[in-house]
Structures are given as C-alpha cells and as structure tokens.
Copies of this chain bind each other. A is one copy, B any other.
Amino acid sequence: MSENQTPKEGCCCCSKAASIDPIFNPKSVAVVGATEKPNSVGRTVLWNLISSPFGGPVFPINPKRPSVLGIKAYPSLSECPGEVDLIVVCTPAKTVRGIVAEAVQKGVKGAVIISAGFKEIGPEGVEMERQLMEEASKSGLRIVGPNCLGIMNPVGGVNASFAPAVASPGNVAFISQSGALGCAVLDWCAQNGIGLSCFASIGSMMDVNWGDLISFLGEDENTQSIAIYMESIGDAPSFLAAAAKVTPKKPIIVIKPGRTAGAAKAAASHTGSMTGSDDVLDAAFKRVGVVRVTEISEFYSMFNALARQPLPQGNRLTVITNAGGPGVLCTDALILGGGVLASVSPETVEQLNTFLPAAWSHSNPIDILGDASPDAYARTLEVAGNDPASDGLLVILTPQSVTKPTETAEQLKKFGKIAGKPVYASWMGGEIVAKGQEILTAAGVPVFAEPDMAAKVFTMLYGYKKNLEALSVPGEESQSEEDRAKSRETAAAIIDAVRASGRTILTEYESKKLLTAYGINTVQTEIARTEEDAIKLAEGMKFPVVAKLLSETITHKTDVGGVKLNLQSPEDVRNAFVEIKTSVSNNPKWGPEHFQGVTIQQMVKQDGYEIILGSSLDPQFGPVLLFGMGGQLVEVFKDKALGLPPLNTTHARMMFEQTKIFKALKGVRGRKSVDMKVLENLMVQFSRIVAEQPWIKEMDINPLLASEEQIIALDARVILHDLNTPEEKLSKPAIRCCKK
C-alpha cells in the first residue's frame, strides 16, 4: 500500500472497534418502548432479553406502566437507576431523536435502533438520520440501525433483537443487511445445529458499519469466521481496511446480490442504496481476501463447514465412497473449483489392503464398494485421514441394500476430527439416511445433501487461503523514494498547467508526457505546428512515421480523420498535415480553432499484442484500474481484469493472471514471453498516477504494444475532473490504509 497516505477515518490503524463492544457485551440494557402488547416488537425484544440472561439487569422504559412483563418499568431513560450500557429503541421514528439525546445525557454507550422510518422513506428520513448522528456525536454514542432486527451475542447470552429465538452459541459471526434474510438464516442455523458467536442486523448502517463490525469481530475471541449478507457496501474504504486486516486470521464470506443489472435495479428500489458495479466489487473483495459466494445454498454450506471443521491447508481432497457415481460427480466439482484428488500414498494403500476387499479402487476416490460395512468405513477414514498427502476428507454413503447408514455414522464419529484437516460427509438419500446425518452433525461432521457441494465448499475455502498467500507475496519496488517524489511533482505540474489553461482534456502529447514522468515507455512523439516543422521532425526520425491531430478539445482523433499512418516520405508528411488540418477545419462539428497542429511519431512495427490499460471512476470504490486485451475485438471478447489502486507488482501480476491474453503474453506458438517485470512495473506506475493525481478522472493507454522486444504505449488519453470540482469529490483510492 502507498506509504505517502496519511491515516484517514475508517483506516485499519484508527479503528473504532472497541467503542462498539458495549453493544455486544452490555452490563445493563434498557428497552425503550417495552410493552405487553401481543406480537409487538417492544414486547418481543424485552422477552428475548430476559429469557436469554446475559448477567445484567434489563430496564423496560414505558411512561404509561409501572411494570412490563412483571419487570419494574421506568417512565424515561433518565429516571432509570444506575448505569445503562445499551438501549434498544422500539418507538416510532419521530421519538428517536429525543431518546438519543437523553441517552447521550445519561452516558449510554450503545444503541440498537429497531424503529423504521428513516433513510428508506426519502429525504425527510435522511435528515432525521443526520440529526440522530449529530446528537450521538456529542458523547460518541454508537448506534446500530435504524431499521434493523437487532443484535445477538449468543455466547454472552445477549439477545437484543426481535428475532423469534436466540441462536445457540458457536464460532461463526453472521451480519445481515436484511432483517428478513437474517430471520431465515437464523432459523436454518437452528434447524441445522449451527451455533453463532454473534448476530447483527445492521439496518441502514447510519453509524455502525461493515468496518466497525468486521474490526470488532476480528478481535472477538469467540469468532472464528464471519458470514455476511450484504446489499450495499456503504463506506468502501472502511470495509476494505477492516477486511484486509481480518482476513489473514479469519475467513470472511459474503453473499451479495446485484450480479446482474436487473438485480441491481431491484436492490436499489429496496434499500435506497446504490449498488456499485459488480465486477469492481469482485476485484475489491479479491484484493482484501474476502470470499464471495453467489448462491444461497453455498452460503448455507459455508456455515455448515466453518462452524464444524478446520480450514483446508491445501487443495488435495480424499474421497471415500461406497459408490462410483457420486465420487465422480464430486470429482468434477473438485477439479472445476481448483482442487485435486489427493494421491493415495503406497503406505495408505498397503494399510487399506489389510482390511478392504481386493476389489476396492486402489486410488482416490477410495471406492470401498457397495457392501462396505460400518467398520470398513471407519477404518478407511482413520487410515486415509492420516495420509500426509491429503488436505481434507469427504465420506460419501449411498443407501444400498446392505448399507447401514446409521451404524456407519456411529462408527465414524470418533474419526470425525482430524487436526488441521476438514472432514465432510454426504449421506445421500432421504429417510433411510436421516438418522445417520443427525449423528454425524451432532459429532461435528458437517453433512451435505450433495457430495459435489461438499467438494465445492472445500475448494472455495482453499481458494480463500490461496488468494491470501498470493496477496502476501511482497511487491518489488523499482523506483527510489526520491524518484517517486520527482514523478509526482512533474506529473502534477503537467496537470496544473492544463487546468490553468482552462482545460480538462490532456492532448495526446501531454498525456504521453505524463506517462513519461512516471517512467512509462511511450513512442517518441513531437509537436509540429507547421508543415515545415512536421517534415523536419519526420526527417529526424526514421521513416515511416505517423502524423496525428494535436487538439486540446478533440479526443477521438480517428473520427475526424486525424490519424495518418505509415508515412513514407516528406511528401507524405506534408500531405498528411494538410489533410488533417482541412478535415478538422471543414468539420461542421468542429472548426479551425480545434486544430493546434499535429504530432509526428515514429511508426512502430505492429508485431506484438495490443493491450489496454485504463482507469475510470466507480461511484463507490473511486478509481478502478483495467488491464486487458486491446485491439478491435476488445468489446467482443471482454478479456479484462479490474483492480484497485495503488498496486504493487504482486497485485499487478494477479490482475494479469485473470486474463486470457496473459497466456499469449507469456509466449505461445513459439513466441517468447514479454518481459513480465517490465509489464508489472508499468502497471504499478500506471496505478500510482491514478492514486497520486486526484485530478485525474479517467485515463487510458490504448494500445500498449507488448512484444518480446519492447513494451510501449502508442496512444494515451487523460481526462481531468471539472475545474470547479470540490476536493472531496476528486479521485481518492478506496484502499488507503497507512502501512505499519
């Protein structure tokens, strides 16, 4: 990460995580709006809090009743005896500001605002939220919500929510941006015996946001992994900084709709939050080690695996089965997900030979045949589990005529936990295998209805580890600190000069100077204001040359006949100059004032691959980088990767690896590889321009010509923000954590 950034709010080094601790570990709680009205939120919240004791007092606040559900009530928060750590607010929206003011007065540390009727109702609600934040900021009161289901700390016994039941204690934290989906997942977890370390319904994220919760859970010793249902990322820098800090210790799994334009529209109408471009989101998640799942069944399956078993340390899965078909189906899923079938070591084969029938498969999948006994299953798992060539095990059972699903599950129990390796099971079928599924689940072996899903989960969790490993490779620095400062200043001066002249578009000549300032190789380009200059410059180069329009206003030169290639002689150059000038001057859309001359450039032999490097502005993530195949079929093949600046050489390489053109760049059909170090450094420098020059709104190099001889920018385009753009609207990378 860029060292020259100063810490900003939401930075991982300046986390406010500790301040939300009283919300999840309160010593006392007041329920504002507690009531006995059947089915009301105020009643459910109070009931939930007292029926799951956390060890402290619960105060109902109700101005009309001396007690609620048999507990002494107080007319207002200020009349409440002693300290109150947390309030849960269930009263109508219009009353909340006063309650927050009172809470600040009383020294309350946290609030969960369940009440709806804020941001989601429009501008009026937005203003109400602003007022709440103004009040809260007086004491640093932290607020979850509004418009949420509440929170739970099942380990500490806290249920400050109106969910139907408290989750059982466990090690997975679950944060949901939809209360409804939260209810469904909680109910699913309860049915499947999955315990949680934390549940938070974060509502409209007015104050406490992803960054706060992730930072908090990163330090929470009961939490081993974090599962998130996300509708909008909100404060992207805060999310990214927190996630980058936590993922090396604990996996973060996110399901987020909006993969398609249609879905994004549905999300917008639901939450009032804008959903950013989905490809950018994927790139951002990858950059900070977050795992994204796309299907609800995958999300459920992740809970199942994470709650019960360790993470795989490698991608080699051993499959034990009493039937070939399911073994092959899950092998497909394994391979497609990036896993491999573990090889079975000779020692393991030898041990298995001592008790398995001769016809067993002798390879992975370990098919122990249709009549496999419970004992055969158990001993095979024991032996295969000890094979160091395996990183995880999946035991599959199909209910054949002599199969004993229940007894087999019983016998497997004692081998269901292997240090450092996950053990998964798939008891396939219905009623016949149901009891066995229960037994395994209770023993901490996750059971998947389909073995291919088990293999998929294994590979996704391996993918998490592999991505983190790739990210952890240190980047290589090719520029000294002094040179970097010089690059920044030279480029800033070019940009300032353009702005001083009242323009927001750099000419091709200026754009290339900017690239050159950052050490990016561009084709030699000189300005000619007259025909004679043009010829003189061309003669100073080697023919053939190229003449291109120089204009401070026209960016798409080809559209106005502004590019003349392959000029072989001074006469060609003269003609080109005249033609370009005439073409622009006579163009009804433009005119002579848009012609500032031409540039004369060396004609580069077009032998190599055309690449595009770009940067554009995402409304949520700020500047986003693009690397991909250039050329005329760029729109057809869409072979591209996105990334967030700043990059180091590792990040650059990881972007390259996501494209197909990278295979060609590494050398195909007898061609040699392009110089990857040069390409990586070029990408890093390109990202630095974007990260360090906030006035740049869009920029691209198209094409960058890459061959084994050279990598060179043939054309470039830079667009600045409007001259009167306020500073906070300038380009600012979403990744801005200061380096420790």
Contact = CB atoms under 8 A, between A and B. Distances in A.
Contacts of A606: none
A684 to B, nearest CB: 25
A632 B428 CA distance: 47
Contact of A255 (B329, B633, B637): B329
Contacts of A632: 668-669
A177 to B, nearest CB: 8
A295 B332 CA distance: 9
A297 B326 CA distance: 12
A336 interface: yes
Contacts of A664: 633, 636
A323 interface: yes
Contact of A295 (B431, B452, B633, B668): B452
A268 to B, nearest CB: 10
Contacts of A326: 178, 180-181, 184, 296
Interface in A417-462: 428-434, 449-453
Interface string A166-194: 00000000000111110111111111100
Contacts of A430: 187-192
B363 A324 contact: no
A229 interface: yes
Nearest to A329: B257
A294 interface: yes
B180 A323 contact: yes
Contacts of A485: none
Contact of A639 (B296, B300, B637): B637
Nearest to A184: B428
Contacts of A552: none
Interface string A635-647: 1110100000000
A328 B258 contact: yes
B431 A190 contact: yes
Given A181-B325, A663-B636, A428 B332 contact: no
Contacts of A361: 269-270
A599 interface: no
A502 interface: no
A289 to B, nearest CB: 23
A367 interface: yes
A328 B398 contact: no
A594 interface: no
Given A255-B329, A324-B178, A669 B267 contact: no
A537 interface: no
A504 interface: no
B259 A332 contact: yes
Interface in A629-686: 632-633, 635-637, 639, 660-661, 663-664, 668-669
Nearest to A321: B180
Interface stretch (A348-356, A399-407, A505-513, A585-593): A399-407
Contacts of A401: 39, 41, 44, 162-164, 183
Interface in A379-410: 398-403
Interface string A304-342: 000000000000000000111111110111111000110
Given A180-B322, A187-B433, A398-B181, A328 B636 contact: no
A497 interface: no
Interface string A565-603: 000000000000000000000000000000000000000
A263 interface: yes
Interface string A693-723: 0000000000000000000000000000000
Interface centre among A325, A449, A664, A669 (most CB of B within 10 A): A325
A111 to B, nearest CB: 20
B296 A450 contact: yes
Contacts of A661: 633, 636
Given A178-B324, A325-B257, A401-B44, A429 B266 contact: no
A501 interface: no
A183 B329 contact: no
A267 B164 contact: no
Given A257-B329, A660-B636, A297 B449 contact: yes
A549 to B, nearest CB: 19
Nearest to A635: B668
Nearest to A432: B187
Contact of A180 (B41, B177, B324, B449): B324
A406 to B, nearest CB: 13
A669 B635 contact: yes
Contact of A187 (B263, B429, B453): B429
A287 to B, nearest CB: 22
A295 B450 contact: yes
A267 B325 CA distance: 7
B191 A39 contact: no
A331 B184 contact: no
A399 B187 contact: yes
A266 to B, nearest CB: 5
A449 B367 CA distance: 31
Contacts of A67: none
Nearest to A231: B325
Nearest to A268: B328
A276 interface: no
Contact of A333 (B164, B295, B336, B452): B295
A365 interface: yes
Nearest to A450: B296
B431 A191 contact: yes
Contacts of A39: 401-402
Contact of A262 (B184, B261, B335): B335
A620 interface: no
A260 interface: yes
A107 interface: no
Q: Which 6 A-B pairs have the closest CB atoms?
A: A191-B430, A180-B323, A187-B429, A270-B324, A178-B325, A184-B428
Interface of A: 39, 41, 44, 162-164, 177-181, 183-192, 229, 231, 255, 257-263, 266-267, 269-271, 294-297, 300, 322-329, 331-336, 340-341, 361, 363, 365, 367, 370, 398-403, 428-434, 449-453, 632-633, 635-637, 639, 660-661, 663-664, 668-669
18 contacts: A39-B401, A41-B401, A180-B398, A181-B398, A187-B428, A187-B430, A191-B431, A231-B328, A258-B328, A262-B331, A262-B340, A267-B324, A267-B328, A295-B453, A297-B449, A297-B452, A637-B639, A637-B660
Given A178-B324, A178-B325, 12 more contacts: A162-B401, A180-B398, A183-B400, A190-B431, A229-B325, A231-B328, A255-B329, A257-B329, A263-B331, A295-B450, A300-B450, A633-B661
